[in-house]
Amino acid sequence: MIQEDIDRISDELEMAYKRYPVLESVGVKTWVNGAFTFSPDGNPLVGPVRGLPNYWLACGVMAGFLQGGGVGKTLAEWMISGETEADAWPMDNARYGSFTSNTEYIRQTTGQFYARRFVMTYPNEQLWAGRPLKTAPAYTKMNENGALWGESWGLEIPLLFAPKSFKENPTLKRSNAFELVGRECKAARETAAILDITGFSRFRVSGESARSWLDRLLAGRLPAENRVRLCPMLAPSGRLRGDLTVLNWGDGTFWIMGSYYLRAWHKRWFEDHLENGVEVADISDAIAGFSVSGPKSREILASLARDDISNDAMPFMSAKYMDIGLVRASVARLSVTGELGYEINCEASHHQQLYDMLLDAGRRYEAAEIGYYALNSLRLEKSFGIWNAEFMQAYTPGMTGLDRWIDWRKKGFIGRESALGEERTGSSETLVTLEIDAVDADASGYEPVWHQGKRVGFVTSGGYGHTVGKSLAMSFVPASLAKVGAEFACHIVGEERGARIIANSPYDPKGVRMRA
Protein backbone atom coordinates (compact mmCIF):
# COMPACT_ATOMS: atom_id res chain seq x y z
CA MET A 1 0.00 0.00 0.00
CA ILE A 2 0.97 3.64 -0.58
CA GLN A 3 0.66 6.47 1.93
CA GLU A 4 -2.64 8.29 1.41
CA ASP A 5 -2.53 11.71 -0.26
CA ILE A 6 -5.78 13.42 0.69
CA ASP A 7 -5.00 16.66 -1.13
CA ARG A 8 -4.80 14.78 -4.45
CA ILE A 9 -8.44 13.65 -4.16
CA SER A 10 -9.86 16.69 -2.37
CA ASP A 11 -12.27 17.55 -5.19
CA GLU A 12 -13.64 14.01 -5.26
CA LEU A 13 -13.93 13.97 -1.45
CA GLU A 14 -15.93 17.19 -1.51
CA MET A 15 -18.35 15.64 -3.98
CA ALA A 16 -18.62 12.50 -1.84
CA TYR A 17 -19.45 14.56 1.30
CA LYS A 18 -22.16 16.42 -0.58
CA ARG A 19 -23.61 13.17 -1.90
CA TYR A 20 -23.38 11.40 1.48
CA PRO A 21 -23.59 14.08 4.21
CA VAL A 22 -23.22 11.44 6.92
CA LEU A 23 -19.53 11.20 6.03
CA GLU A 24 -18.99 14.64 7.58
CA SER A 25 -19.78 13.28 11.04
CA VAL A 26 -18.67 9.66 10.65
CA GLY A 27 -15.39 10.42 8.95
CA VAL A 28 -13.05 8.01 7.19
CA LYS A 29 -11.40 5.52 9.54
CA THR A 30 -9.27 3.60 7.05
CA TRP A 31 -7.67 4.80 3.84
CA VAL A 32 -6.65 2.33 1.13
CA ASN A 33 -4.27 3.71 -1.46
CA GLY A 34 -2.89 1.05 -3.77
CA ALA A 35 -1.98 0.51 -7.38
CA PHE A 36 -4.54 -0.67 -9.92
CA THR A 37 -3.76 -4.05 -11.50
CA PHE A 38 -4.07 -4.00 -15.26
CA SER A 39 -3.57 -6.66 -17.89
CA PRO A 40 -2.78 -5.40 -21.41
CA ASP A 41 -6.49 -5.35 -22.33
CA GLY A 42 -7.77 -4.47 -18.84
CA ASN A 43 -9.57 -7.76 -18.30
CA PRO A 44 -8.80 -10.21 -15.46
CA LEU A 45 -6.54 -13.23 -15.80
CA VAL A 46 -8.60 -16.27 -14.84
CA GLY A 47 -8.51 -20.01 -15.37
CA PRO A 48 -6.22 -23.04 -15.37
CA VAL A 49 -2.56 -22.50 -16.17
CA ARG A 50 -1.23 -24.69 -18.95
CA GLY A 51 1.46 -27.10 -17.81
CA LEU A 52 0.69 -26.72 -14.08
CA PRO A 53 -2.02 -29.25 -13.08
CA ASN A 54 -4.57 -27.87 -10.60
CA TYR A 55 -2.99 -24.42 -10.64
CA TRP A 56 -5.57 -21.68 -11.20
CA LEU A 57 -5.46 -17.94 -11.64
CA ALA A 58 -7.88 -15.23 -10.57
CA CYS A 59 -5.86 -12.03 -10.70
CA GLY A 60 -5.50 -8.80 -12.62
CA VAL A 61 -8.99 -7.85 -11.43
CA MET A 62 -9.00 -4.10 -11.96
CA ALA A 63 -12.36 -3.38 -10.30
CA GLY A 64 -12.62 -5.95 -7.52
CA PHE A 65 -15.98 -4.85 -6.13
CA LEU A 66 -17.58 -4.83 -9.57
CA GLN A 67 -15.89 -7.85 -11.14
CA GLY A 68 -15.20 -10.06 -8.13
CA GLY A 69 -18.56 -11.81 -8.12
CA GLY A 70 -18.38 -12.72 -11.79
CA VAL A 71 -14.77 -13.83 -11.51
CA GLY A 72 -15.60 -16.03 -8.50
CA LYS A 73 -18.64 -17.57 -10.20
CA THR A 74 -16.67 -18.27 -13.37
CA LEU A 75 -13.77 -19.84 -11.49
CA ALA A 76 -16.04 -22.03 -9.37
CA GLU A 77 -17.92 -23.34 -12.43
CA TRP A 78 -14.64 -24.00 -14.20
CA MET A 79 -13.15 -25.94 -11.30
CA ILE A 80 -16.27 -27.99 -10.59
CA SER A 81 -17.65 -28.62 -14.09
CA GLY A 82 -14.66 -28.10 -16.35
CA GLU A 83 -16.63 -25.43 -18.26
CA THR A 84 -18.23 -22.08 -17.53
CA GLU A 85 -21.82 -21.06 -18.10
CA ALA A 86 -20.81 -17.96 -20.06
CA ASP A 87 -17.98 -17.78 -22.57
CA ALA A 88 -14.96 -17.05 -20.38
CA TRP A 89 -12.57 -16.23 -23.24
CA PRO A 90 -12.34 -12.46 -22.48
CA MET A 91 -10.81 -13.28 -19.07
CA ASP A 92 -9.07 -16.58 -19.88
CA ASN A 93 -5.34 -16.33 -19.21
CA ALA A 94 -4.78 -18.43 -22.36
CA ARG A 95 -5.58 -15.38 -24.47
CA TYR A 96 -1.97 -14.38 -23.84
CA GLY A 97 1.27 -16.04 -24.87
CA SER A 98 4.64 -16.05 -23.15
CA PHE A 99 5.70 -13.03 -25.23
CA THR A 100 3.35 -10.86 -23.16
CA SER A 101 5.43 -11.48 -20.03
CA ASN A 102 8.11 -9.16 -21.40
CA THR A 103 8.46 -6.18 -19.05
CA GLU A 104 8.56 -3.57 -21.80
CA TYR A 105 5.53 -5.12 -23.51
CA ILE A 106 3.62 -4.92 -20.22
CA ARG A 107 4.72 -1.33 -19.63
CA GLN A 108 3.60 -0.19 -23.08
CA THR A 109 0.29 -2.07 -23.27
CA THR A 110 -0.93 -1.46 -19.73
CA GLY A 111 0.09 2.19 -20.02
CA GLN A 112 -1.88 2.43 -23.26
CA PHE A 113 -4.93 0.84 -21.65
CA TYR A 114 -4.83 3.18 -18.65
CA ALA A 115 -4.40 6.27 -20.84
CA ARG A 116 -7.31 5.21 -23.08
CA ARG A 117 -9.56 3.74 -20.42
CA PHE A 118 -12.34 6.23 -21.17
CA VAL A 119 -11.44 6.84 -24.81
CA MET A 120 -13.49 5.30 -27.58
CA THR A 121 -11.65 2.83 -29.82
CA TYR A 122 -13.06 2.50 -33.33
CA PRO A 123 -13.57 -0.92 -34.94
CA ASN A 124 -10.93 -0.17 -37.57
CA GLU A 125 -8.50 1.65 -35.27
CA GLN A 126 -5.03 0.22 -34.76
CA LEU A 127 -3.30 0.69 -31.40
CA TRP A 128 0.49 0.48 -31.46
CA ALA A 129 1.65 -0.34 -27.94
CA GLY A 130 3.87 -3.43 -27.99
CA ARG A 131 4.09 -3.36 -31.78
CA PRO A 132 5.50 -4.43 -34.09
CA LEU A 133 6.69 -7.50 -32.21
CA LYS A 134 6.35 -10.63 -34.34
CA THR A 135 6.58 -10.34 -38.11
CA ALA A 136 6.48 -12.79 -40.99
CA PRO A 137 9.76 -13.12 -42.93
CA ALA A 138 8.27 -11.26 -45.93
CA TYR A 139 7.06 -8.40 -43.69
CA THR A 140 9.57 -5.85 -44.95
CA LYS A 141 8.77 -6.46 -48.61
CA MET A 142 5.01 -6.48 -47.95
CA ASN A 143 5.53 -3.19 -46.13
CA GLU A 144 7.33 -1.78 -49.15
CA ASN A 145 4.40 -2.90 -51.31
CA GLY A 146 1.93 -0.88 -49.25
CA ALA A 147 0.70 -3.23 -46.54
CA LEU A 148 -1.25 -1.66 -43.70
CA TRP A 149 -1.01 -3.80 -40.60
CA GLY A 150 -3.23 -5.27 -37.94
CA GLU A 151 -2.18 -7.54 -35.11
CA SER A 152 -3.10 -11.06 -33.99
CA TRP A 153 -1.47 -12.47 -30.84
CA GLY A 154 1.57 -10.29 -31.33
CA LEU A 155 1.93 -11.08 -35.06
CA GLU A 156 1.58 -8.36 -37.68
CA ILE A 157 -0.97 -9.32 -40.35
CA PRO A 158 -1.78 -7.33 -43.52
CA LEU A 159 -5.19 -5.64 -43.48
CA LEU A 160 -4.97 -4.15 -46.98
CA PHE A 161 -2.50 -2.83 -49.52
CA ALA A 162 -2.54 0.87 -50.32
CA PRO A 163 -0.45 3.70 -51.80
CA LYS A 164 2.47 4.73 -49.62
CA SER A 165 0.86 7.98 -48.40
CA PHE A 166 -2.44 6.35 -47.45
CA LYS A 167 -3.68 6.34 -43.87
CA GLU A 168 -7.01 4.82 -42.88
CA ASN A 169 -9.31 7.11 -40.91
CA PRO A 170 -10.72 5.57 -37.72
CA THR A 171 -14.51 5.65 -37.98
CA LEU A 172 -17.73 3.84 -37.15
CA LYS A 173 -18.78 4.19 -40.78
CA ARG A 174 -17.22 3.10 -44.05
CA SER A 175 -13.66 4.31 -44.02
CA ASN A 176 -11.53 5.81 -46.75
CA ALA A 177 -10.23 2.25 -47.34
CA PHE A 178 -13.61 1.18 -48.75
CA GLU A 179 -12.71 1.47 -52.44
CA LEU A 180 -9.27 -0.07 -51.96
CA VAL A 181 -10.79 -3.13 -50.29
CA GLY A 182 -13.32 -3.35 -53.10
CA ARG A 183 -10.53 -3.55 -55.67
CA GLU A 184 -8.83 -6.35 -53.75
CA CYS A 185 -12.12 -8.29 -53.64
CA LYS A 186 -12.58 -7.77 -57.37
CA ALA A 187 -9.13 -9.24 -58.06
CA ALA A 188 -9.96 -12.33 -55.98
CA ARG A 189 -13.11 -12.93 -57.99
CA GLU A 190 -11.80 -12.06 -61.47
CA THR A 191 -8.08 -12.90 -61.57
CA ALA A 192 -6.16 -14.00 -58.46
CA ALA A 193 -5.43 -12.86 -54.93
CA ILE A 194 -2.27 -13.48 -52.90
CA LEU A 195 -2.67 -13.44 -49.11
CA ASP A 196 -0.14 -13.96 -46.32
CA ILE A 197 -1.43 -16.88 -44.20
CA THR A 198 1.32 -16.90 -41.61
CA GLY A 199 -1.33 -15.79 -39.11
CA PHE A 200 -2.98 -19.21 -38.70
CA SER A 201 -2.07 -21.70 -36.02
CA ARG A 202 -0.58 -25.03 -37.03
CA PHE A 203 -0.21 -28.08 -34.79
CA ARG A 204 1.58 -31.22 -35.98
CA VAL A 205 0.08 -34.43 -34.60
CA SER A 206 2.08 -37.63 -34.95
CA GLY A 207 2.70 -40.96 -33.25
CA GLU A 208 1.23 -44.45 -33.40
CA SER A 209 -2.00 -43.32 -31.69
CA ALA A 210 -2.39 -40.04 -33.56
CA ARG A 211 -5.42 -41.05 -35.58
CA SER A 212 -7.33 -42.68 -32.72
CA TRP A 213 -6.61 -39.67 -30.49
CA LEU A 214 -7.86 -37.23 -33.12
CA ASP A 215 -10.94 -39.39 -33.62
CA ARG A 216 -11.82 -38.98 -29.95
CA LEU A 217 -10.85 -35.32 -29.73
CA LEU A 218 -12.74 -34.14 -32.82
CA ALA A 219 -16.39 -34.56 -33.71
CA GLY A 220 -15.86 -34.69 -37.47
CA ARG A 221 -14.78 -37.48 -39.77
CA LEU A 222 -11.03 -37.50 -40.17
CA PRO A 223 -9.56 -37.01 -43.64
CA ALA A 224 -8.15 -39.89 -45.63
CA GLU A 225 -4.52 -39.75 -46.76
CA ASN A 226 -3.70 -36.57 -48.68
CA ARG A 227 -7.08 -35.09 -47.89
CA VAL A 228 -8.44 -32.18 -45.82
CA ARG A 229 -11.57 -31.95 -43.70
CA LEU A 230 -13.28 -29.36 -41.53
CA CYS A 231 -13.84 -30.70 -38.01
CA PRO A 232 -15.69 -29.17 -35.06
CA MET A 233 -14.19 -29.81 -31.62
CA LEU A 234 -16.63 -30.04 -28.72
CA ALA A 235 -16.59 -29.78 -24.94
CA PRO A 236 -18.34 -32.51 -22.90
CA SER A 237 -21.40 -30.23 -22.76
CA GLY A 238 -21.66 -30.39 -26.54
CA ARG A 239 -20.71 -26.73 -26.93
CA LEU A 240 -17.99 -25.64 -29.32
CA ARG A 241 -14.28 -25.80 -28.56
CA GLY A 242 -13.00 -25.14 -32.05
CA ASP A 243 -13.74 -25.00 -35.77
CA LEU A 244 -10.61 -26.63 -37.09
CA THR A 245 -9.10 -27.72 -40.38
CA VAL A 246 -7.45 -31.15 -40.28
CA LEU A 247 -4.90 -32.11 -42.93
CA ASN A 248 -3.63 -35.65 -43.47
CA TRP A 249 -0.29 -35.51 -45.29
CA GLY A 250 -0.26 -39.22 -46.05
CA ASP A 251 2.89 -40.05 -44.10
CA GLY A 252 1.31 -40.59 -40.68
CA THR A 253 1.44 -36.87 -39.91
CA PHE A 254 -1.63 -34.71 -39.37
CA TRP A 255 -1.91 -30.95 -39.05
CA ILE A 256 -4.58 -29.10 -37.12
CA MET A 257 -5.03 -25.54 -38.33
CA GLY A 258 -7.03 -22.85 -36.56
CA SER A 259 -7.01 -19.26 -35.36
CA TYR A 260 -3.54 -17.96 -34.53
CA TYR A 261 -4.64 -16.12 -31.38
CA LEU A 262 -6.13 -19.33 -29.93
CA ARG A 263 -2.80 -21.17 -29.90
CA ALA A 264 -2.33 -21.30 -26.13
CA TRP A 265 -6.03 -22.03 -25.56
CA HIS A 266 -6.07 -24.95 -27.98
CA LYS A 267 -2.71 -26.28 -26.82
CA ARG A 268 -4.00 -26.39 -23.23
CA TRP A 269 -7.04 -28.37 -24.37
CA PHE A 270 -4.89 -30.75 -26.41
CA GLU A 271 -2.53 -31.35 -23.49
CA ASP A 272 -5.39 -31.86 -21.04
CA HIS A 273 -6.62 -34.73 -23.24
CA LEU A 274 -3.30 -36.10 -24.44
CA GLU A 275 -2.74 -39.87 -24.55
CA ASN A 276 0.27 -42.15 -24.80
CA GLY A 277 1.54 -42.65 -28.33
CA VAL A 278 0.63 -39.10 -29.44
CA GLU A 279 2.87 -36.10 -29.96
CA VAL A 280 1.40 -32.63 -30.50
CA ALA A 281 3.79 -29.85 -31.50
CA ASP A 282 2.90 -26.21 -32.07
CA ILE A 283 4.72 -25.40 -35.30
CA SER A 284 2.99 -22.07 -35.91
CA ASP A 285 6.18 -20.01 -35.62
CA ALA A 286 8.21 -22.44 -37.75
CA ILE A 287 5.74 -22.49 -40.67
CA ALA A 288 4.58 -19.55 -42.76
CA GLY A 289 2.85 -19.31 -46.11
CA PHE A 290 0.63 -17.66 -48.68
CA SER A 291 -2.71 -18.52 -50.21
CA VAL A 292 -3.43 -18.01 -53.90
CA SER A 293 -7.11 -17.92 -54.83
CA GLY A 294 -9.21 -16.88 -57.78
CA PRO A 295 -9.94 -18.18 -61.26
CA LYS A 296 -6.28 -17.76 -62.33
CA SER A 297 -4.78 -19.35 -59.21
CA ARG A 298 -4.26 -22.78 -60.77
CA GLU A 299 -2.38 -21.27 -63.70
CA ILE A 300 -0.14 -19.27 -61.36
CA LEU A 301 0.67 -22.29 -59.22
CA ALA A 302 1.12 -24.57 -62.24
CA SER A 303 3.76 -22.20 -63.62
CA LEU A 304 5.85 -22.82 -60.48
CA ALA A 305 5.07 -26.45 -59.57
CA ARG A 306 6.44 -29.63 -61.12
CA ASP A 307 3.46 -31.68 -59.90
CA ASP A 308 0.24 -32.09 -61.83
CA ILE A 309 -2.29 -29.84 -60.09
CA SER A 310 -5.17 -30.35 -62.49
CA ASN A 311 -8.60 -30.92 -60.97
CA ASP A 312 -8.24 -34.67 -61.51
CA ALA A 313 -4.80 -34.84 -59.90
CA MET A 314 -5.49 -32.39 -57.07
CA PRO A 315 -9.23 -32.09 -56.42
CA PHE A 316 -10.93 -29.80 -53.91
CA MET A 317 -9.92 -30.48 -50.27
CA SER A 318 -6.78 -32.43 -51.14
CA ALA A 319 -3.29 -31.97 -49.68
CA LYS A 320 0.19 -32.96 -50.76
CA TYR A 321 3.86 -32.09 -50.48
CA MET A 322 5.26 -30.49 -53.60
CA ASP A 323 8.08 -28.33 -54.91
CA ILE A 324 7.11 -24.74 -55.68
CA GLY A 325 10.13 -23.37 -57.47
CA LEU A 326 12.97 -23.66 -54.94
CA VAL A 327 10.58 -24.11 -52.03
CA ARG A 328 9.52 -27.48 -50.62
CA ALA A 329 5.92 -26.79 -49.65
CA SER A 330 2.90 -28.41 -48.03
CA VAL A 331 -0.03 -27.43 -50.23
CA ALA A 332 -3.75 -27.80 -49.56
CA ARG A 333 -6.47 -27.04 -52.07
CA LEU A 334 -9.02 -24.97 -50.19
CA SER A 335 -9.95 -21.32 -49.94
CA VAL A 336 -11.76 -19.04 -47.49
CA THR A 337 -12.52 -16.66 -50.37
CA GLY A 338 -14.97 -19.09 -51.96
CA GLU A 339 -12.86 -19.35 -55.11
CA LEU A 340 -10.57 -21.98 -56.56
CA GLY A 341 -7.56 -21.66 -54.32
CA TYR A 342 -4.53 -23.14 -52.64
CA GLU A 343 -2.90 -22.66 -49.25
CA ILE A 344 0.87 -22.97 -49.63
CA ASN A 345 2.71 -23.65 -46.37
CA CYS A 346 6.49 -23.52 -46.13
CA GLU A 347 9.30 -23.25 -43.63
CA ALA A 348 9.48 -19.71 -42.29
CA SER A 349 12.96 -19.30 -43.78
CA HIS A 350 11.44 -19.82 -47.27
CA HIS A 351 8.59 -17.33 -46.84
CA GLN A 352 10.39 -14.47 -48.60
CA GLN A 353 11.36 -16.67 -51.54
CA LEU A 354 7.79 -17.96 -51.90
CA TYR A 355 6.48 -14.39 -51.83
CA ASP A 356 8.82 -13.24 -54.58
CA MET A 357 7.97 -16.22 -56.79
CA LEU A 358 4.20 -15.80 -56.39
CA LEU A 359 4.33 -12.07 -57.13
CA ASP A 360 6.50 -12.64 -60.19
CA ALA A 361 4.30 -15.45 -61.54
CA GLY A 362 1.13 -13.55 -60.70
CA ARG A 363 1.97 -10.41 -62.72
CA ARG A 364 1.14 -12.18 -65.96
CA TYR A 365 -2.37 -12.84 -64.64
CA GLU A 366 -2.89 -9.44 -62.95
CA ALA A 367 -2.90 -11.03 -59.51
CA ALA A 368 -3.20 -8.66 -56.57
CA GLU A 369 -2.04 -8.79 -52.98
CA ILE A 370 -4.96 -8.65 -50.57
CA GLY A 371 -5.38 -8.28 -46.84
CA TYR A 372 -7.77 -9.48 -44.20
CA TYR A 373 -10.29 -6.68 -44.77
CA ALA A 374 -10.93 -8.15 -48.22
CA LEU A 375 -10.97 -11.68 -46.85
CA ASN A 376 -13.67 -10.67 -44.37
CA SER A 377 -15.82 -9.28 -47.19
CA LEU A 378 -15.28 -12.37 -49.35
CA ARG A 379 -16.08 -14.85 -46.56
CA LEU A 380 -19.28 -12.93 -45.68
CA GLU A 381 -20.37 -13.36 -49.31
CA LYS A 382 -20.04 -17.11 -48.70
CA SER A 383 -21.68 -17.03 -45.22
CA PHE A 384 -18.51 -18.54 -43.77
CA GLY A 385 -18.42 -18.07 -40.01
CA ILE A 386 -15.32 -17.31 -37.97
CA TRP A 387 -14.30 -17.95 -34.37
CA ASN A 388 -15.18 -15.37 -31.72
CA ALA A 389 -18.02 -14.16 -33.91
CA GLU A 390 -20.27 -16.89 -35.35
CA PHE A 391 -18.44 -19.62 -33.43
CA MET A 392 -17.80 -19.34 -29.69
CA GLN A 393 -17.63 -21.73 -26.76
CA ALA A 394 -21.07 -20.51 -25.64
CA TYR A 395 -22.60 -21.81 -28.91
CA THR A 396 -23.53 -25.28 -30.11
CA PRO A 397 -23.13 -27.14 -33.42
CA GLY A 398 -26.87 -26.98 -34.07
CA MET A 399 -27.03 -23.22 -33.60
CA THR A 400 -24.09 -22.52 -35.88
CA GLY A 401 -24.66 -25.12 -38.59
CA LEU A 402 -21.40 -26.89 -37.73
CA ASP A 403 -23.43 -30.02 -37.00
CA ARG A 404 -23.24 -30.82 -40.72
CA TRP A 405 -19.55 -31.62 -40.19
CA ILE A 406 -20.15 -34.03 -37.30
CA ASP A 407 -19.70 -37.74 -37.96
CA TRP A 408 -22.63 -39.12 -35.98
CA ARG A 409 -21.67 -42.70 -36.88
CA LYS A 410 -18.49 -42.73 -34.82
CA LYS A 411 -18.59 -43.45 -31.10
CA GLY A 412 -16.77 -41.97 -28.17
CA PHE A 413 -15.79 -38.48 -29.33
CA ILE A 414 -15.89 -35.76 -26.69
CA GLY A 415 -19.32 -34.14 -26.43
CA ARG A 416 -21.14 -36.76 -28.52
CA GLU A 417 -24.03 -37.51 -26.19
CA SER A 418 -24.78 -33.85 -25.50
CA ALA A 419 -24.57 -32.96 -29.17
CA LEU A 420 -26.85 -35.90 -30.04
CA GLY A 421 -29.43 -34.51 -27.63
CA GLU A 422 -29.47 -31.22 -29.49
CA GLU A 423 -29.60 -33.05 -32.82
CA ARG A 424 -32.77 -34.82 -31.69
CA THR A 425 -34.55 -31.80 -30.21
CA GLY A 426 -33.22 -29.09 -32.47
CA SER A 427 -31.77 -25.71 -31.53
CA SER A 428 -33.87 -22.77 -30.41
CA GLU A 429 -31.66 -20.37 -32.41
CA THR A 430 -30.27 -20.46 -35.93
CA LEU A 431 -27.41 -18.64 -37.62
CA VAL A 432 -28.64 -16.68 -40.64
CA THR A 433 -27.31 -14.24 -43.23
CA LEU A 434 -28.91 -10.80 -43.37
CA GLU A 435 -28.95 -8.20 -46.10
CA ILE A 436 -29.10 -4.76 -44.51
CA ASP A 437 -30.40 -1.57 -46.11
CA ALA A 438 -27.20 0.26 -45.24
CA VAL A 439 -26.28 3.71 -46.52
CA ASP A 440 -22.80 4.71 -45.40
CA ALA A 441 -22.09 2.27 -42.58
CA ASP A 442 -22.18 -1.49 -42.21
CA ALA A 443 -22.68 -3.78 -39.26
CA SER A 444 -19.51 -4.99 -37.58
CA GLY A 445 -20.74 -6.92 -34.55
CA TYR A 446 -23.13 -6.71 -31.57
CA GLU A 447 -25.67 -4.48 -33.29
CA PRO A 448 -29.18 -5.40 -32.03
CA VAL A 449 -31.53 -7.22 -34.40
CA TRP A 450 -35.24 -6.45 -34.01
CA HIS A 451 -38.41 -8.19 -35.17
CA GLN A 452 -41.73 -6.39 -34.77
CA GLY A 453 -40.31 -4.13 -32.08
CA LYS A 454 -38.73 -6.93 -30.04
CA ARG A 455 -35.01 -7.57 -29.87
CA VAL A 456 -34.44 -11.12 -31.09
CA GLY A 457 -30.68 -11.23 -31.55
CA PHE A 458 -27.38 -9.49 -32.17
CA VAL A 459 -25.17 -9.26 -35.23
CA THR A 460 -22.22 -11.61 -34.87
CA SER A 461 -20.19 -10.01 -37.67
CA GLY A 462 -20.83 -7.97 -40.76
CA GLY A 463 -19.44 -5.82 -43.53
CA TYR A 464 -19.93 -4.91 -47.15
CA GLY A 465 -19.97 -7.63 -49.79
CA HIS A 466 -18.12 -5.78 -52.52
CA THR A 467 -18.68 -8.29 -55.32
CA VAL A 468 -22.38 -8.92 -54.59
CA GLY A 469 -23.08 -5.26 -53.87
CA LYS A 470 -24.84 -5.88 -50.56
CA SER A 471 -24.31 -4.89 -46.95
CA LEU A 472 -24.18 -8.25 -45.18
CA ALA A 473 -24.33 -9.46 -41.60
CA MET A 474 -24.66 -12.75 -39.78
CA SER A 475 -26.83 -13.20 -36.71
CA PHE A 476 -28.53 -15.75 -34.53
CA VAL A 477 -32.32 -15.46 -34.59
CA PRO A 478 -35.05 -17.66 -33.11
CA ALA A 479 -35.44 -20.80 -35.23
CA SER A 480 -39.13 -20.01 -35.71
CA LEU A 481 -38.19 -16.78 -37.53
CA ALA A 482 -35.33 -18.19 -39.59
CA LYS A 483 -37.01 -18.08 -43.00
CA VAL A 484 -35.62 -16.56 -46.19
CA GLY A 485 -37.34 -13.25 -46.76
CA ALA A 486 -38.27 -12.67 -43.11
CA GLU A 487 -38.06 -8.95 -42.29
CA PHE A 488 -36.07 -7.49 -39.40
CA ALA A 489 -34.51 -4.20 -38.38
CA CYS A 490 -30.98 -3.48 -37.24
CA HIS A 491 -29.43 -0.41 -35.66
CA ILE A 492 -26.29 0.68 -37.50
CA VAL A 493 -24.41 3.55 -35.82
CA GLY A 494 -27.61 4.73 -34.16
CA GLU A 495 -29.77 4.54 -37.29
CA GLU A 496 -32.47 1.92 -37.72
CA ARG A 497 -32.08 0.07 -41.00
CA GLY A 498 -34.26 -2.55 -42.60
CA ALA A 499 -32.85 -6.06 -42.83
CA ARG A 500 -34.01 -9.39 -44.18
CA ILE A 501 -32.82 -12.98 -44.20
CA ILE A 502 -31.32 -14.05 -47.49
CA ALA A 503 -30.23 -17.52 -48.55
CA ASN A 504 -26.81 -18.48 -47.26
CA SER A 505 -23.85 -17.93 -49.56
CA PRO A 506 -25.14 -15.07 -51.72
CA TYR A 507 -22.06 -15.58 -53.89
CA ASP A 508 -21.89 -18.90 -55.77
CA PRO A 509 -24.33 -20.72 -53.44
CA LYS A 510 -23.51 -24.17 -54.84
CA GLY A 511 -19.78 -23.74 -54.41
CA VAL A 512 -19.02 -24.48 -58.05
CA ARG A 513 -16.07 -22.09 -58.25
CA MET A 514 -14.20 -23.63 -55.30
CA ARG A 515 -14.43 -27.02 -57.00
CA ALA A 516 -13.56 -25.84 -60.52
Cα 319 to Cα 178: distance, rounded to the nearest angstrom = 35
How many residues does the structure list for the chain?
Answer: 516
DSSP readout, 314-357? S-TTBEEEEEETTEEEEEE---TTSSSEEEEEEEGGGHHHHHHH
pTM comes to 0.94
The pLDDT value given to residue 273: 97
Residue of 95, 150, 134, 402 lying closest to 262 (CA atoms): 95
The pLDDT value given to residue 46: 97
- In eight-state DSSP terms, residue 44 is -
Residue of 286, 287, 328, 320 lying closest to 304 (CA atoms): 328
Cα 460 to Cα 443: distance, rounded to the nearest angstrom = 9
Strand partners of residue 228: 247
The pLDDT value given to residue 71: 94
The pLDDT value given to residue 54: 93
Q: For residue 417, give the amino acid letter.
A: E
Where is 269: in which H helix or E strand? helix 263-272
Cα 283 to Cα 263: distance, rounded to the nearest angstrom = 10
| Buried-state track 126-153, b at ≥16 Cβ within 10 A, e below 16 | eeebbbeebbbbbbeebbeebbbbbbbb
The pLDDT value given to residue 30: 87
Where is 8: in which H helix or E strand? none
| CB < 8 Å & 24+ apart, contacts of 387-390 | 387/242, 387/243, 387/258, 387/259, 387/262, 388/89, 388/259, 389/445, 389/460, 389/461, 389/474, 390/431, 390/460, 390/461, 390/474
Where is 233: in which H helix or E strand? strand 227-234
Mean pLDDT by 10 residues, the chain (516 residues): 88 91 85 85 95 93 84 96 95 96 96 92 95 98 98 98 96 98 98 98 98 98 98 97 98 98 97 97 98 98 97 98 98 98 98 98 98 98 98 97 97 97 96 98 97 97 98 98 98 97 98 97
Cα 144 to Cα 133: distance, rounded to the nearest angstrom = 18
Where is 264: in which H helix or E strand? helix 263-272
The pLDDT value given to residue 65: 75
Cα 466 to Cα 147: distance, rounded to the nearest angstrom = 20
- Sign of the Cα torsion 215, 221, 227, 228 reads negative
Cα 290 to Cα 193: distance, rounded to the nearest angstrom = 10
Where is 392: in which H helix or E strand? none
What backbone torsions phi and psi does residue 23 show, to the nearest 5 degrees? -60, -25
The pLDDT value given to residue 111: 94
Cα 442 to Cα 473: distance, rounded to the nearest angstrom = 8
The pLDDT value given to residue 38: 85
Q: How far is residue 418 from each of residues 77, 84, 235, measured CA to CA in Å?
A: 18, 16, 9
